[in-house]
Amino acid sequence: MQKHLILVGGGHAHMITLANLNRFAVRGHRVTVIGPSEHHYYSGMGPGMIGGTYAPDEIRFATRHVVEKQGGTFVKGAVSRIDPKARTVFLQSGDSLVYDVISFNAGSHVPVNLLDGDSDRDVYTVKPIERLLEARQRMVDIAGKRHISVGVVGGGAAAVEVAGNVARLLRAHARHGFDVMIFSRNRLLERFPEKVRRAGYRSLNRRDIKVLEHRYVDRVLTGCIQLQTGERYHPDIIFLATGVSPSSIFRNSGLPTGPDGGLLVNRYLQCSDYPEIFGGGDCIYFHDHPLEKVGVYAVRQNPILYRNILASLEGESLTPFDPGGDYLLIFNMGDGTGIFYKRGVLLSGRLAFILKDRIDRRFMKKFQAIE
């Protein structure tokens, strides 16, 4: 009997499933993929796109084309909620779809609670990646006319990579000078090993990127970053890189969630209350072992989600997900250098960037090949 599979999002955790959609059709199943864009951008290469290392088409997958090429249906839109008892998905457009099995790779977003009302012109979140495209062009436009100042709010890896790549862009385009500032609530890269933190700080300092640590940002509006102390800074462009939160779909739907609002899943990447619901990537909360919001886990979930989605449709046994051990950290610092760290080993410099570039390009080539 034909069953209907819905995939919400075409991100890292759904890549293998998307590459094998024809196998669902061969077994008589119908597949619909819902996504906000016809393309999916690889966030790991997003900062490099700001700096000009990569062109937009080098860091994206043609989701709609891949789906339709294999006989699936692509729906451009966003899910607002689902009714798990009726197995129905509701879109923000007002449309609805009924499913037999559904899997979420709906990603995450940067909270905008710091924004003061509607004063968000020239304020950009680091996700979705399409926003970085807009920011890049806006910076080039300003830099060609006058001195430009850029502020990055956040002290994690995304903030560091964005700041470094913004500096690279402006060095090439700013005719009248520029400055880049990072506003970190705590120490820069605080959750990372000390040697990684020091390497990141040295890289930014070498290029006169100002790192303002222990600066609690109270609010952000167009052209202004206000600290809790009342002190104000006035960048032309502001990036928000303050961490990410899962989609609100799950709380809106009354589904079981973790403390962060992510879909609560068991070791099969499955919602225990509704076994026909699966999920992966930043939008889930893994019950057995809460995971950091890093792309490596979505990549590791890829084959398990594919097997378990197909097994659920076919009534077969499921495969447990093992998060694995330590993972590799590599940052693109924007000046042709990187920071590599794994199991106590640190590489800082050109070789680290070359390794990251090769890993990222190989990942893109593998999945762009199905286009």
Half-sphere exposure (CA, 13 Å, Cβ side) for 171?
Answer: 13
Span 184-202, average pLDDT: 95
**Whole-angstrom distance, CA of residue 286 vs CA of residue 283:** 10
Span 84-91, average pLDDT: 98
- List the structure tokens of 252: 């809106």
Least confident of 47-56, 123-132, 301-310: 123-132
The rounded mean pLDDT for the chain is 94
pLDDT of residue 118: 63
Domain 4-109+244-326 matches domain 123-243 at the CATH topology level = yes
Which CATH number among 3.90.600.10, 3.40.630.30, 3.10.20.310, 3.50.50.60 corresponds to the domain 123-243?
A: 3.50.50.60
- List the structure tokens of 99: 């499913």
**Whole-angstrom distance, CA of residue 72 vs CA of residue 13:** 18
Q: Name the nearest CA neighbour of 184 among 221, 148, 210, 150.
A: 210
From residue 11, how far is each of 103, 119, 283 by CA, in Å?
A: 11, 30, 11
pTM, whole model, 2 decimals? 0.92
pLDDT of residue 222: 86
Per-residue model confidence as pLDDT tens digits over 35-59: 999 999 998 999 999 999 999 999 9
**Domain boundaries 4-109+244-326, CATH class:** alpha beta
pLDDT of residue 14: 95
Position 318: which residue type?
Answer: L
Task: Name the band, by pLDDT with cuts 50, 70 and 90, for residue 326.
Answer: confident
Span 137-150, average pLDDT: 97
Whether the predicted pLDDT of 77 surpasses 80: yes
Task: Name the band, by pLDDT with cuts 50, 70 and 90, for residue 244.
Answer: confident
What percentage of the chain carries pLDDT values higher than 70?
A: 98
What percentage of the chain carries pLDDT values higher than 90?
A: 84
Give the pairing of strands 101-104 and 96-98. Answer: unpaired
Span 297-308, average pLDDT: 95
pLDDT of residue 119: 63
**Whole-angstrom distance, CA of residue 150 vs CA of residue 259:** 33
Q: Could you check whether the bond before residue 128 is cis, i.e. omega within 30 degrees of 0?
A: yes
pLDDT of residue 117: 64
Per domain, the residue ranges of the chain are: 4-109+244-326, 123-243
Span 203-222, average pLDDT: 94
Whether the predicted pLDDT of 1 surpasses 80: no
Whether the predicted pLDDT of 69 surpasses 70: yes
pLDDT of residue 127: 87
Span 366-370, average pLDDT: 78
Position 254: which residue type?
Answer: G
- Strand order from edge to edge, sheet including 88-91: 79-83, 88-91, 96-98
